[in-house]
């Protein structure tokens, strides 16, 4: 049972990584085209729309379905209960937002938000219908289907976004792009899960999910409020252009996390739920996933941070140069993700949703204090204050995991330490190389050279710090290239 679960989890990680890497490549490619066609102001207006829906989407589709993954004895009535609750909440928020749209637009001082808000409100129903089949697939670790859906959604959204950016030249292109992605996910997840809506449920089945759902929903509302506070203050005080740059920094961080950390963290909830009474196995799964994520994430975030002054104008255009310092700070925030990304999944998986709520509440309070104290200084100061906040919440998360399942904080801290040190060495070498090259060659060629220097220096540093680890990772990559995925997963797991 244990080995079977870990093998399935390993396959899930590999498939999820494949889908996320494709998704990142597709999203980044479309983002490059769209960022060149649209302005930071357009991205800021779209960001305002997302802020408005961040909390309603938590209620309608972003929290209740987690109970379907966590619960061991899942019944049909539990599934129907979650579906009905999601649909009712979607309808309530849809009515409220459509009624209040003019007031919301007036508060943001952008009248053009009214039609955008009203159109985007249909995403509440799309999310409510998508959440149940998506959760059922995740519960069963059916990441081959999830990967396929992500690929389909990325392709359709990219095509829609690029075409409409050419034709509309406004934030409407981003609105339709996001709606297209969500519609594809709804249709595909429903078909692949072979799920059909049902209204057969009892009050007892609803009550059985209530404790988990209440804490989980409260946690996600607080997390959404955390993001809303920062975006809202930046947009209201520093303006839409600053919000557009802030959102670009957040998006780049999220894209990198989705590609290099989320594939490992995504399986933490179902694996923790199924191994909560087998702590040695759970420890192995957590530590192994952290180390594997660190091998990829650390060099990515440090390398991208160092390269940002060269890469941002080349990739997105000169209009995004003012956003470079903010983007660099957000990329450094990613250094904590190979450990913290697993905390909430593990805590929720073992039923300790109370801990995740407390941590998120502390994070919200710290965000309010940090952003409120720095917003009048500038965007970079806000980013630095948020970076400091993430360090505090990381420590709280590590302590919560130790308190809940006994997994030592020290093991969380040192997981992937070789990869971190090798990445720091790589970052220094790339920075020195960048100073030596400066403006002597074309920026695109400079970026290619620096990326190559980064790859070689990271592999070299890792080989010196941990030769056995480096050898096994190279073997795993060769096997992946040869199509020997199962053997590659075995080698990679043995390496950590």
Measured distance CA(146)–CA(174) in Å, rounded: 23
Tokens describing residue 396: 């709280």
The candidate with the shortest Cα–Cα distance to 241, out of 32, 45, 381, is 45
From first CA to last CA, the distance across the chain in angstroms is 21
Alpha helices (H) in 406-442, listed in sequence order: 409-414, 417-437
Measured distance CA(396)–CA(179) in Å, rounded: 36
Region class of 92: left (phi > 0), else alpha (psi between -120 and 50), else beta: alpha
Q: What is the pLDDT of residue 99?
A: 93
Residue pointed to by tokens 């990559």: 477
Going by pLDDT thresholds of 50, 70 and 90, the confidence category of residue 136 is confident
The Cα angle at residue 434 between residues 291 and 329, in degrees rounded to 5 = 50
The candidate with the shortest Cα–Cα distance to 245, out of 328, 160, 186, is 328
The per-residue pLDDT for range 178-215, each reduced to its tens digit, is: 999 999 999 999 988 888 887 787 777 777 777 777 77
* R_g of the chain, CA atoms, integer Å: 22
Lowest mean pLDDT among 13-17, 272-276, 355-359, 424-428: 13-17
Going by pLDDT thresholds of 50, 70 and 90, the confidence category of residue 175 is very high
How many alpha carbons fall within 13 Å on the CB side of residue 171? 23
Q: What is the pLDDT of residue 1?
A: 46
Q: What is the pLDDT of residue 116?
A: 92
The per-residue pLDDT for range 45-68, each reduced to its tens digit, is: 887 888 788 878 887 876 777 777
Going by pLDDT thresholds of 50, 70 and 90, the confidence category of residue 15 is low
Measured distance CA(252)–CA(331) in Å, rounded: 8
Measured distance CA(402)–CA(423) in Å, rounded: 27
pLDDT, average across residues 385-407: 88
Better pLDDT: 174 or 51: 174
Given CA atoms 275, 280, 286, 289 in this order, what sign does their dihedral have? negative
Write out the DSSP string of 128-191: HHHHHHHHHHHHTT-HHHHHHHHHHHHHHHHHHHHHHHHHH-STHHHHHHHHHHHHHHHHHHHH
Better pLDDT: 368 or 14: 368
Measured distance CA(367)–CA(278) in Å, rounded: 36
Q: What is the pLDDT of residue 21?
A: 57
The candidate with the shortest Cα–Cα distance to 306, out of 148, 86, 458, is 458
- Say if residue 429's pLDDT is above 50: yes
Q: What is the pLDDT of residue 294?
A: 83
pLDDT, average across residues 417-426: 90
Measured distance CA(348)–CA(215) in Å, rounded: 10
pLDDT, average across residues 140-160: 81
Question: Average pLDDT, whole number, for the chain?
Answer: 81
Measured distance CA(422)–CA(426) in Å, rounded: 6
Tokens describing residue 296: 């990829």
């Amino acid at each position: 049972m244990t080995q079977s679960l870990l093998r399935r989890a390993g396959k899930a990680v590999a498939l999820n990584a494949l889908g996320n890497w494709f998704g990142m490549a597709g999203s980044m490619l479309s983002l490059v085209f769209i960022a060149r066609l649209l302005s930071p102001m357009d991205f800021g207006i779209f960001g305002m729309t997302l802020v408005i829906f961040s909390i309603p989407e938590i209620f309608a589709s972003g929290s209740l379905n987690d109970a379907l993954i966590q619960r061991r004895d899942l019944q049909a009535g539990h599934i129907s209960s979650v579906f009905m609750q999601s649909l009712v909440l979607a309808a309530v928020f849809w009515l409220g937002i459509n009624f209040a749209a003019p007031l919301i637009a007036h508060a943001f001082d952008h009248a053009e938000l009214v039609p955008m808000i009203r159109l985007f409100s249909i995403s509440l129903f799309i999310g409510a219908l998508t959440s149940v089949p998506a959760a059922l697939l995740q519960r069963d670790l059916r990441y081959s289907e999830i990967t396929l859906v992500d690929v389909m959604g990325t392709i359709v959204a990219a095509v829609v976004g690029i075409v409409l950016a050419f034709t509309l030249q406004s934030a409407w292109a981003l609105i339709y792009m996001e709606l297209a992605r969500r519609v594809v996910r709804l249709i595909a997840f429903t078909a692949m899960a072979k799920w059909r809506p049902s209204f057969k449920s009892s009050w007892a089945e609803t009550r059985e999910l209530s404790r988990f759902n209440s804490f989980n929903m409260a946690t996600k509302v607080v997390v959404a409020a955390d993001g809303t506070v920062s975006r809202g203050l930046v947009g209201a005080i520093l303006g839409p252009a600053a919000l557009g740059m802030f959102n670009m920094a957040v998006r780049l961080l999220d894209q990198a996390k989705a590609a290099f950390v989320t594939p490992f963290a995504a399986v933490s909830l179902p694996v923790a739920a199924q191994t909560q009474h087998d702590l040695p196995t759970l420890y192995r799964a957590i530590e192994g996933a952290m180390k594997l994520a660190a091998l990829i994430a650390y060099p990515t975030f440090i390398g991208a941070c160092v390269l940002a002054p060269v890469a941002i104008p080349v990739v997105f255009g000169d209009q995004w140069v003012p956003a470079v310092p903010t983007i660099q700070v957000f990329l450094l925030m990613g250094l904590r993700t190979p450990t913290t990304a697993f905390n909430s999944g593990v805590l929720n998986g073992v039923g300790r949703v109370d801990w995740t709520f407390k941590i998120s509440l502390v994070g919200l309070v710290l965000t309010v204090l940090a952003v409120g104290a720095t917003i009048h200084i500038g965007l970079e100061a806000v980013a630095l204050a948020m970076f400091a906040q993430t360090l505090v919440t990381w420590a709280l998360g590590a302590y919560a995991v130790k308190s809940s399942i006994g997994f030592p904080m020290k093991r969380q801290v040192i997981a992937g330490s070789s990869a971190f040190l090798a990445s720091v060495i790589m970052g220094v070498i790339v920075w020195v190389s960048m100073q030596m090259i400066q403006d002597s060659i074309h920026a695109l060629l400079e970026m290619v050279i620096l990326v190559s220097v980064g790859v070689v220096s990271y592999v070299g540093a890792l080989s010196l710090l941990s030769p056995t680890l480096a050898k096994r990772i190279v073997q795993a990559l060769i096997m992946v290239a040869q199509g020997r995925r199962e053997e590659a997963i075995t080698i990679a797991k043995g390496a950590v």
